[in-house]
């Protein structure tokens, strides 16, 4: 089923307690596309970069089944640049630099070959641009998933609310859910946010997993307790890419299938954090993926105390 992904394609500079990187390839749409490509190909990308973006990295995306017809390359302009620094426990990070560059006046072009889009992933980007993509698709996709961040709540709340109203699934982290709703309880926050439009809400809680809300139902997926977490950058996007990739590949948007998609997304994210940047997402095997998903299933499988037969 046709999947279109929009979001930033960027240079990132990262600093974690384990080391520092110079400019490496990053961006929400990069992580989303690579992650989704393990479920289905092609992943149709809509994004913009400057002419400083290496051709080799565009080729790398193409080798992973990413269709780059919708990737604009702006002559004489610079790509989006973001840098961040993580605290010692890797749970919080500080944005050091956000240079919008080509993103400042991004006018997304949807190639005709993308008009068959049935699944749309709106990765982190100005909410007005995310909305333009919905408006420029001739037919409304079967499922629209949106990811965003506190940055847009601070600088473009009105636009953000207008876009949120149009999507089916919103994916944000716990801090952002509290900021957006003004509620501390995540259950209350979820009810309020679903009242803004989305029928489903995913609240990501980093190393504490993710919650999926729909009407009065809640599903919880743990994060895999890992021995080595190297760099959490892109984990949320990788999760989102795995989530929508799985739904698009199975073409089933029932709540039960969304639960599987949440586990699949969590498994993809668990790989992402094991190395710097996108490195770990480049060469995963089917066997590694299956083994990781099984680890997730084992992690939560239990016969409830009231049903168990004592030994
Ligand atoms: P995550 O760690 O999943 O929140 O995503 C990290 C990615 O988001 C990085 O690769 C950045 O390039 C990208 N990013 C950071 N800030 C923004 C922003 N304001 N708009 C779009 N993408 C961003």
pLDDT at 30: 98
Distance from C-alpha of 210 to C-alpha of 233, rounded to nearest angstrom: 16
pLDDT at 92: 79
pLDDT at 261: 97
The whole-chain average pLDDT of the chain stands at 95
pLDDT at 157: 97
Helices (H), the chain: 28-36, 55-63, 127-136, 150-155, 157-164, 174-181, 186-195, 235-250, 255-272, 286-300
Give the binding-site residues of ligand 1, using a 6 Å CB cut-off: 8, 10, 12, 26-28, 82, 98, 124-125, 151, 233-237
Question: Which residue's alpha carbon is nearest to atom 9 within ligand 1?
Answer: 27
pLDDT band at 181 (very low <50, low <70, confident <90, very high): very high
Listed residue (169, 175, 182, 257) closest to 213, CA to CA: 169
Pocket test for ligand 1, best of 5, 6, 7, 8 (most atoms within 8 A of CB): 8
Question: Which residue's alpha carbon is nearest to atom 16 within ligand 1?
Answer: 82
Residue 230 has pLDDT above 90, yes or no: no
pLDDT at 44: 98
pLDDT at 309: 81
pLDDT at 246: 98
Pocket test for ligand 1, best of 10, 84, 155, 171 (most atoms within 8 A of CB): 10
Residue 90 has pLDDT above 80, yes or no: no
CA of 195 to the centre of ligand 1 (A): 26
Span 70-78, average pLDDT = 98
Q: Where are the domains of the chain?
A: 3-300
pLDDT at 307: 87
Domain 3-300's class? alpha beta
pLDDT at 101: 97
Of 78-87, 128-137, 296-305, the poorest mean pLDDT is in: 296-305
151 or 33, which is more confident: 33
Distance from C-alpha of 193 to C-alpha of 265, rounded to nearest angstrom: 22
Residue 188 has pLDDT above 80, yes or no: yes
Of 8-12, 29-33, 85-89, 182-186, the poorest mean pLDDT is in: 85-89
pLDDT at 93: 85
pLDDT band at 166 (very low <50, low <70, confident <90, very high): very high
CA of 123 to the centre of ligand 1 (A): 9
pLDDT at 22: 87
Q: Cα-flanking dihedrals φ and ψ of residue 123, to 5°?
A: -75, 170
pLDDT at 10: 97
Residue 214 has pLDDT above 80, yes or no: yes
In percent, how much of the chain has pLDDT > 90? 86
Span 212-221, average pLDDT = 97
**Ligand 1: nearest atom to the Cα of 233:** 2
Q: Is the pTM higher than 0.85?
A: yes
In percent, how much of the chain has pLDDT > 70? 100
Listed residue (75, 96, 103, 116) closest to 20, CA to CA: 96
Of 65-74, 82-91, 111-120, the poorest mean pLDDT is in: 82-91
Distance from C-alpha of 114 to C-alpha of 237, rounded to nearest angstrom: 21
Listed residue (190, 168, 158, 160) closest to 118, CA to CA: 168
């Amino acid at each position: 089923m046709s999947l279109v992904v929009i979001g930033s394609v960027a240079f990132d500079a990262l600093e974690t307690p384990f080391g520092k990187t110079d400019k490496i390839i990053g961006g929400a749409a990069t992580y989303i596309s690579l992650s989704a490509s393990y479920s289905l190909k092609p992943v149709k990308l809509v994004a913009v970069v400057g002419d400083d973006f290496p051709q080799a990295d565009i080729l790398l995306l193409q080798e992973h089944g990413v269709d780059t017809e919708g990737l604009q390359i702006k002559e004489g302009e610079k790509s989006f640049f973001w840098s961040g620094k993580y605290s010692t426990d890797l749970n919080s990070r500080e944005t050091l630099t956000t240079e919008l560059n080509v993103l400042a006046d991004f006018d997304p072009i949807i190639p005709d070959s993308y008009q068959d889009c049935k699944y749309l992933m709106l990765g982190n980007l100005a909410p007005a641009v995310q909305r333009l993509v919905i408006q420029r698709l001739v037919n409304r996709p079967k499922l629209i998933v949106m990811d965003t961040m506190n940055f847009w709540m601070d600088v473009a709340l009105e636009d953000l609310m207008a876009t949120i109203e149009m999507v089916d699934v919103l994916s944000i982290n716990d801090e952002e859910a509290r900021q957006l709703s003004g509620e501390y309880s995540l259950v209350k926050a979820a009810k309020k946010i679903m009242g803004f439009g989305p029928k489903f809400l995913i609240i990501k809680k980093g190393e504490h997993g993710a919650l999926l809300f729909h009407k009065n139902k809640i599903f919880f997926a743990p994060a895999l307790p890992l021995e080595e977490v190297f760099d959490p950058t892109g984990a949320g996007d990788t999760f989102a890419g795995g989530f929508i990739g799985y739904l698009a590949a199975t073409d089933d948007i029932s709540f039960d299938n969304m639960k599987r998609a949440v586990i699949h997304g969590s498994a993809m994210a668990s790989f992402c954090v094991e190395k710097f940047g996108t490195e770990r997402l480049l060469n995963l095997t089917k066997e590694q993926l299956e083994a990781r998903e099984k680890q997730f299933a084992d992690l939560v499988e239990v016969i409830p105390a009231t049903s168990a037969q004592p030994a």
